[in-house]
Chains A and B, each alone.
Chain A
Amino acid sequence: MGLKRKHLIGLEDATTEEIETYLNTAESFKSVFDRKIKKVPALRGRTIVNLFFENSTRTRTSFELAAKRLSADVINFSVSTSSVAKGETLIDTAKTIEALESDMIVVRHSCSGVPLLLTKTLKSGIVNAGDGMHEHPTQGLLDLFTIREKKKKIKGLKIVMVGDIAHSRVARSNIYGMTKMGADLTLVAPPTLIPQDIERLGVKVDHDLRKAIKGADVVYMLRIQIERQKRNLFPSLREFSTLYGVDEEKLKLANIDALVMHPGPMNRGVEISSEVADSEQSVICEQVTNGIAVRMAVLYLLAGGETNEIATLSRQGN
């Protein structure tokens, strides 16, 4: 199984078959993780550039490690907003990067639409590592991977996603991914953090966490940014935490084996209590590990790789 695309901009236009291909491929790569030598020669000789216009140690590190485990050459290029202020445009920067003869560019930007814009200007394959409030497709895929790994299925699971949906690219990618894979998804947040007409994406919206969390198989929390309070999107962190923070008492209302998930970094004591974050049900650290396997799968497949060749490749790696 392979893919017919060379860019990954979002999960909005992904088919369920494509998503399954990503997840199955990631599974094959994850099986290599237990070995002493974790590298496979899949992308030997290819150059992958991590072009980050926004700080993100976690995502950048995860992509870097994924590329290295595929034996690609990796360059990290962080662009501070100051060099943009000097008059160099996004396009200038991207063309400079491509002049380094990159095969793929992993891009993170605070503005929605930048990865799509780059596909129109550059020849390299573009992987969206998070753009503004738009999408963060590899996060969506690694969350699906984690759920499938733990629950052995996604279809029919009751998932509640709690927090700042409006400003979250993680939420958008997960909404597309989870609904395409057949999950029953409810978004829980105050109305100020629910964007207009989001129900049209096939989700339910609730403002009462205690009600919505009942019988949930997965409880997914999003990071709340403190700055949102200044725009009057919620009155105080205390009120937010009281109404929408997941603590042990609220978690008890979910299924006894419900997974607790968070894309990180967490605000302990705000959207998630420490007890919940560190509980047996929490798979937050596994999300991070799975992120490497999923990103390996994404880079590999977009570069033209086939899932059934991984077994051969991993033998070469050893």
Chain B
Amino acid sequence: MKLLLSAGRVIDPVNKINEVLDVLIEDGKISKVAKNIKDKAAMLVDLKSKIIVPGLIDMHVHLREPGFEYKETISTGVRAAVLGGFASVACMPNTDPVMDNTAVVEYVISKGKKENLANVYPIASVSKNAKGEEISDIGMLLKSGVVALSDDAAPLMNAEIMRRAFEYTKQFNVSIITHCEDKNMTVDGVMNESFNSTVLGLRGMAPVAESIMVYRNISIANYMKALVHIAHVSCKESVEIIRWAKKQGMRVTCETAPHYFTLNDEAVKSYDTNTKMNPPLRSAEDVKAIIAGLKDGTIDCIASDHAPHGRIDKEVEYNYAAFGIVGLETMLPLTLTELVDKKILTLEQAVEKLSVMPAKILGLKKGSLSAGAAADITVLDLEKKYVIDVNKFASKSKNSPFNGRPVKGAAFMTIVGGEIKMQEGKLL
């Protein structure tokens, strides 16, 4: 089966392409990217005035299965992914049981394959049962299909265990994705520590609890010559430390999430529990620093930290509410509206952060439209204006602070392995 994507603007940063071209897909792979391709056997898709980019990859999502199927399942999660323009997602290990063994990894992979929508790549827990005491069977986990290790479920507080995890993992040339938070400093914290936490009477989480761990983890990883990726950077100090480390030639990559470049802790003033996430929404000054970090390349990728929660987790007192928001169906429009349309990032830079870099960090042969690569493609419609409506989400959960927000730009089509999975907001 052949597919011919006709007359769209192709943006492929890896191959330095940014022009109106046709893309021919054959047997699930990119066959040719060129002008005026003629192929009568191919199904023609007219993409005039649309943008063709390598399939987007969200490298930080929580699909909740197994264990928390009332929040999200792999089935609903991959639907949300392709509707949001993502051909691939990497899912975090804080499931029940924790994804720290090959049985759970294989379960998640097989469930993902069965859905046959977005690619699902599991990230395993760096420590057994996410307890931060003993490291998991990392070698075997990698063999079963894991693309990275993470302590996202529970930050590794013990620096010696962090050191051993980096030291042991470097033989596999795989990243450890770290959630940077000194848990001793954030006990009972529910929002950023600031003037707003003072006024609201909510316990604060100081930005320094994040930045000191960013420094610690970069420092240990470099001492061990291992790969470290910093998850969801939220504050100015973290950006500055990562910028400094990169200047020193240290190996570190990092991501931020759309809420850290769109919202600040003023949003908490309504006590809306959809403003509660970890790390918390920071100050306006931090938002500026995140945007500057995205612009100058300090921040490599944008990931959603898609964290679905049910009503019983969120429609409660602010103190008791679960941390996190859904993001698969809002990340692309927010990036296009807040960064691309406002000329903070070029489209090429946005594609690097949403596809090229995540592929590189996870070691996936994706993120480009090179001939022979798997035909994972996202088609963007930069002109589409609409208002975010949580009730239209495919995700099982609706916990988003962006409900009702106007956006400009969205996914027009998501192609995975040469098959159109989503077109104009509909699953195919």
The answer to whether B204 has its CB under 8 Å from any CB of chain A is yes
Nearest to B188 among chain A residues (CB) is A231
The answer to whether A197 touches B195, judged by C-beta atoms less than 8 angstroms apart, is yes
Q: Are A196 and B317 CB-contacts (below 8 A) given A117-B271, A134-B201, A135-B201?
A: no
B194, B200, B270, B315: most-surrounded residue (chain A CB, <10 A): B200
A262 within 8 A of B: no
Q: How far is the CA of A117 from the CA of B269 in the complex (A)?
A: 12
In the complex, chain B residues whose CB is within 8 Å of the CB of A12: 199
- Contact stretch, chosen from A36-44, A107-115, A152-160, A212-220: A107-115
Give the Cβ gap from A8 to chain B, nearest Cβ, in Å. 16
Whether the Cβ atoms of B320 and A195 lie closer than 8 Å is: no
B198 part of interface (Cβ distance < 8 Å): yes
User: Across the interface, which residues of B come within 8 angstroms of A111, CB to CB?
Assistant: 317-320
B197 interface residue (CB < 8 Å to A): yes
Closest to A12 in B: B199
The answer to whether B214 has its CB under 8 Å from any CB of chain A is: no
In the bound complex, do residue B200 and residue A195 qualify as a contact, i.e. CB atoms below 8 Å apart?
no
The chain A residue with its CB closest to the CB of B187 is A231
**Beta-carbon contact of A196 and B312 below 8 Å:** no
Does residue B72 face the partner (Cβ distance < 8 Å to A)?
no
A201 to B319, CA, bound (A): 24
Mark contacts of B269-283 with chain A using CB atoms, 8 A cut-off: 1 yes-contact digit, 0 otherwise.
Answer: 011000000000000
Q: Is the CB of B197 within 8 A of A113?
A: no
Question: Known contacts A111-B317, A111-B318, A113-B271: does B194 contact A133 (CB below 8 Å)?
Answer: no
Roughly how many angstroms separate A200 CA and B194 CA in the complex, as a whole number? 11
Residues of chain A with a CB closer than 8 A to B202's CB: 112-113, 132-134
A166 to B320, CA, bound (A): 20
Q: Check B58 for interface membership: any CB of A closer than 8 A.
A: no
Least distance between A198 CB and chain B CB atoms (Å): 6
A170 to chain B, nearest CB (A): 11
Interchain CA distance A148-B193 in the complex, whole Å: 35
Bound-complex Cα distance A256 to B312 (A): 56
The size bracket of the interface on A is 20 to 34
A90 adjacent to chain B (CB < 8 Å): yes
Pair B271/A133 contact, Cβ less than 8 Å: no
Are B197 and A196 interface neighbours, CB within 8 A?
yes
Q: Encode contact with A along B250-273: 1 for CB under 8 Å, 0 otherwise.
A: 000000000000000000001100
The answer to whether the Cβ of B316 comes within 8 Å of any Cβ in the partner chain is yes
Give residues of chain A (76-122) contacting chain B, Cβ–Cβ below 8 Å: 89-91, 109, 111-114, 116-117
Pick from A89, A133, A195, A196: contact of B316, CB under 8 Å:
A89
Q: Is A172 an interface residue (CB 8 A)?
A: yes
B249 to chain A, nearest CB (A): 36
Question: Is A132 a contact partner of B204 (Cβ separation < 8 A)?
Answer: no
Q: A91-B315, A132-B319 are in contact. Are A112 and B198 (CB under 8 A)?
A: no
- Evaluate whether A172 and B312 lie within 8 angstroms (CB atoms) in the complex, with A117-B317, A196-B194, A197-B194 already known: no
A169 within 8 A of B: yes
In the complex, the answer to whether A196 meets B318 with C-beta atoms within 8 Å is no
Chain B residues in 8 Å Cβ range of A116 = 270-271
Are B201 and A172 interface neighbours, CB within 8 A? yes
Query: Any chain B CB within 8 A of the CB of A131?
Result: yes
CA distance A114 to B202 in the complex (A): 12
Nearest neighbor of B312 in chain A, beta-carbon distance: A89
Q: Which residues from B are CB-within-8-Å of A91?
A: 315-316
A112–B202 Cα distance when bound, in Å, is 6
A131–B317 alpha-carbon span in the complex (Å): 11
Contacts of A196 in B (CB 8 A): 193-195, 197-198, 204
| 0 or 1 for each of B302-330: is its CB under 8 Å from A? (1 = yes) | 00000000001001111110000000000
Residues in chain A near residue B312, CB distance under 8 A: 89
A116-B271, A196-B193 are contacts. A90–B317 as well, Cβ < 8 Å?
yes
Per-position binary interface string of chain B over residues 198-224, scored 1 when its CB falls under 8 Å from any chain A CB and 0 otherwise: 111111100000000000000000000
A179 vs B288: C-alpha distance when bound (angstroms): 33
A197: chain B residues within 8 A (beta carbon): 194-195, 198
Smallest distance from the beta carbon of A179 to chain B beta carbons, Å?
Answer: 13
Distance to closest chain A CB from B280 (angstroms):
14
With both chains docked as a complex, state the minimum distance between the C-beta of B333 and any C-beta of chain A, in angstroms.
27
The smallest C-beta distance from A9 to any residue of chain B, in angstroms, reads: 10
**A134 CB contacts on chain B under 8 angstroms:** 200-202
- How far is it, in angstroms, between the C-alpha of A221 and the C-alpha of B317 when the chains are bound? 29
- A-B CB proximity, top 5 nearest: A113-B271, A134-B201, A133-B201, A197-B195, A111-B317
What are 14 A-B contacts with C-beta separation under 8 Å? A89-B315, A91-B316, A111-B318, A112-B271, A113-B200, A113-B317, A116-B270, A132-B202, A133-B202, A134-B201, A169-B201, A195-B197, A196-B193, A198-B198
Interface residues of B (CB under 8 A from A): 193-195, 197-204, 270-271, 312, 315-320
- A91-B316, A132-B202, A196-B193 given; 14 more Cβ-contact pairs under 8 Å: A91-B315, A111-B319, A112-B202, A112-B271, A113-B202, A116-B270, A132-B201, A132-B319, A135-B201, A169-B201, A172-B201, A196-B194, A196-B197, A196-B204
